[in-house]
Structure 1
Amino acid sequence: MVTDENKAGSAPDEPTVPLGRPGDAAEPAAAHEPEAAREPEAADAAEPVGEPEAADDDGAEPATDELAADEPAEPAAPGSRWRVSGAGAVIGVLLVLLGFTLAVQLKNNPADDAYATMRQEDLVTILADLDAREDRLQQDIAELENSRRELASGASSREQILKEAQERADDLGILAGTLKAVGTGITLRFSDGTKPITAAHLLNAIQELRGAGAEAMQVDGNGGSVRVVASTHFVDAPNGGIAVDGVRLTGPYTITAIGPENIDVAMKFRGGVVNDVEGDGGNVIVSKPQPVEITTVLPNAPTLEYAKPVS
């Protein structure tokens, strides 16, 4: 209810304030106050009616605990679980390495224990054997190094050595009559005169040519060609002609020889081939030095029965 006193003092246009609780009446009055001044009162108005304005310290603490209990718990950080798993993996790897190290150590311990239980004399013997083995290995290494140096130094002259060996083999092949030959030489042509040419005439000419430096020779005639070597022999055939190494030849006979450029001069000395043949009634013609070729070869080198190389 509104008293007459309030009614008489109020302005005609003021609104009528309804009766109610003290807190309800305070809200319209606070509507005309500034915003800053209204905030504390609004906070007081939010408190429930009938609650004591002053609360002791013991009553404030439980209210805070209840609000904290009602709030939801904060979620865990998203990467915390993975960090724990990574640390576990590292620990596992370390444990595996530790186990492997222990296994290797246990495996090597028996050998160490075996040496640890040996006597000093035995250890000295083992050490001496190891030293001797090392010396032998060092000697082997030195020998191999020397062989390597020799091979390295001889590698540059290898082709020259092979070339010289091939030339030596060719020389021996020419002397043995197994290879053809070409070079500067002469030809001697023998023909019957007042008397026939005999085996002695050809043998004498071969010896004179060898003495003059002839290196390769062959004899040609009707019936074949024969290569002249150290073992070649000449025999007068029963039915005429000359048998050279078993091959019967008939005149005229031609001897081809490779040798020095002045080999023809040796054939014309007094008492030489020309003088001997003409004195016996035969004919001989000596050519001037010119390029000639020895084409006849022996199928196989002569087999020596008595002479052996000196070892």
Structure 2
Amino acid sequence: MSDEQTETGTGWPQPAGPGRPSGPAGEPDPRPDAPDPDELSPLVPDGPVDEPGGAERPGPGVEPVDDATVDLSRSAGEAGVEPVAADAGAAVPARSRVSAAGVMIAALLALLGFTLVVQLKTTSTDPTLGATRQEDLVRILSDLDARENRLRQDIAALEESQRQLRSGEQGRQAALEEATRRADELGILAGTLPAKGPGLSVRFTAGGKPISAMRVLDAVQELRGAGAEAMQISGGDRATARIIASTYFLDGENGSLVVDGRRLTGPYTITVIGDPATMRTALNIPGGVVASVQNDGGNVIVEDREVAEVSALHAPIKLEHARPVS
């Protein structure tokens, strides 16, 4: 570059690469759309240069770029920025972990909801009652009503006893009366005291088969479930035995019945004290005691008693180890 060019600033170094096309002998480019030479930068551009046919040619100092892969880590490192992972699938494991956790939570919630629904249906639906006939449902309802009435009466009696025991001067007398009443009730349940009251007379007559001990035991259990308070059984030979919680029944010889070691002959009659209507319903349920005896060829006659007397007594058991506390 000459001194004149340096002073005026009109001189520029020529690029190292191929120059732009010009006319002959340094004449300006004769093409009408050619750019003004003064507007052209003498520096070689860093960016890509358009090639004929739409292709781009990278400028000097720029490496060819692959269409499928871009080295972002190198560019970021040269710019002073933290390198970024070039693999776009690097973020996929984090999303996968989040998705897996979401799926697991959804599965647990679904399982919890299913368990709650099943438990609700199980507790709210009783398959036994759903398959029970209407007559059996009526009997069960009647038994529950009778039991509820008895419990209400017991509650009222206990509340009255509590009130009397706390009434000052009458407390001692009330306590004595309450103790006597409880002793009588326990004596009736234990079979050591006679009892009387409204009840039933249940008579078993044999047919083609003798009355088995199992049929009599079924009748006793049905009567207890219906609220029987005291029972005794007598045979055709007038032998009588008190029925309590520890009473057992066995089949004897020649169609006889053994009750607590005492032999009875048929026909057998059970005298029971309790609510007559409830106990009669319990005996006459379909498939119950009456139906079973009739299927064996026998018969069961149930009669109401305004005053049923249970006079047979059970010998008290002699205690060997227990002693009352004074």
TM-score of the superposition, structure 1-length normalised? 0.47
Q: TM-score, normalised by structure 2?
A: 0.45
Higher helix proportion: 1
